[in-house]
Amino acid sequence: MSDSTLSQGEIGRNHRNQRERRGENDRPSTIEPYDFRRPDRIAKEQLRSIHLLHETFARAVASSLSAFLRSYVFVNLASVEQLSFAEFVKSLPSPSCMVSLGLRPYEGNAVLELGHSLVFPIFEMLLGGTGKNSANIHREITEIEKSILDSVFRVILQELKSAWQAVTFMDFIIESHETEPQLLQMLAPNEAVVAVGLEMQIGENRGVMNIGIPSIIVKMLRQKFDQQWTVRKGQSTDSEHARIFKLLKPACLQADVRLTGPTVRLDDLLRIDVGDVLTFDHSTAKELKLQLNGKTKFLGHVVANGGKREFQIGAESRSAE
């Protein structure tokens, strides 16, 4: 076979033929544009910690608002995501019921928005009504209504402060009320916020509460989030054990010693008469069951102590039912 040299055109045709044989499957299915103005994303571990933190907040605020409003309140964490401040503002309805929050001792402001489908039923409940006839009102709240609503916001912010204490001390202070999202000028439009959405039900009324926290604050607390996540994953300390034991000490358990035997049909039981003998079929040497809150935990015997009867737990008589 004689040696041959390929020309540049033949080399190009060979490359094109190889690409055609590979087919279209090797090409990316979708191409997503990247916005270089988009701020850096916070770590997934921090988002996970924020999610757990606000799940705790949701349970706590539901309990506190139920007692405060004397009505059924259910709160569910719907979403935790990072958005630009412009995207977050566009997601809020107009008019809105919002408060700007100072984050002491840190610099910066957060936003808390409460849906109108909840605000006006809350007003009615606080003023002695049932809250059933005001869910469809859509208007800006008045100055008097803002003052009334401050008491509800204080309950919410107290629970939010308690939830964040798992990571750091952060006091949420109401600095101003707003009704139009477009008037919020706390951050530049391309700055990032962590948007927390919570679904709420108060009585028969459903709505949404939104919280926006500047991502720069969360990034500043990255080390504290990491410490909190490490403690959560690792073993508890002696002080944590002591704290949990202190909380459990006042708990009460119902203890019952059961003498179990054969079962009897109801019609047989109704025919029992004076002089009949019932056989329990339970030997005096047979161990009895000790039940705690309805579950068998130990086996043992009834013993006499002076004029009283007591239950003695066997040395190796634990029963797992």
Does the pLDDT at position 184 exceed 70? yes
Is the pLDDT higher at 285 or at 287? Answer: 287
| pLDDT tens profile 125-143 | 888 877 776 657 777 888 8
Q: Are residues 61 and 202 in the same domain?
A: yes
Q: Are residues 264 and 128 in the same domain?
A: no
Q: What number is the average pLDDT over the span 203-225?
A: 85
Which of 2-11, 76-85, 299-308 is predicted least confidently? 2-11
Q: Are residues 50 and 174 in the same domain?
A: yes
Is 10 part of any domain? no
Q: Are residues 197 and 301 in the same domain?
A: no
Q: What CATH number does the domain containing 123 carry?
A: 3.40.1550.10
Mean pLDDT of the chain: 79
Q: Are residues 172 and 233 in the same domain?
A: yes
Q: Which of 207, 223, 245 is the C-terminal boundary of a domain?
A: 245
Tokens 């161990």 sit on residue: 287
Q: Are residues 86 and 145 in the same domain?
A: yes
Q: Which of 193, 223, 245 is the C-terminal boundary of a domain?
A: 245
Q: Are residues 147 and 236 in the same domain?
A: yes
pTM beyond cutoff 0.85: no
Is the pLDDT higher at 319 or at 49? Answer: 49
Does the pLDDT at position 1 exceed 50? no
Res 320: pLDDT: 43
Tokens 């990032």 sit on residue: 192
Taking the mean position of all CA atoms in its chain, how far away is CA 181? Answer: 27
CA–CA separation, 71 and 78 (whole Å): 22
Tokens 């300390």 sit on residue: 237
CA–CA separation, 121 and 269 (whole Å): 58
- Number of domains making up the chain: 2
Q: Are residues 284 and 167 in the same domain?
A: no
Tokens 């003052």 sit on residue: 147
Does the pLDDT at position 190 exceed 70? yes
- Packed helices 116-126 and 143-164: angle between N→C axes, nearest 10 degrees: 100
Q: Which of 245, 273, 289 is the C-terminal boundary of a domain?
A: 245
Q: Are residues 197 and 68 in the same domain?
A: yes
Domain that holds residue 223: 44-245
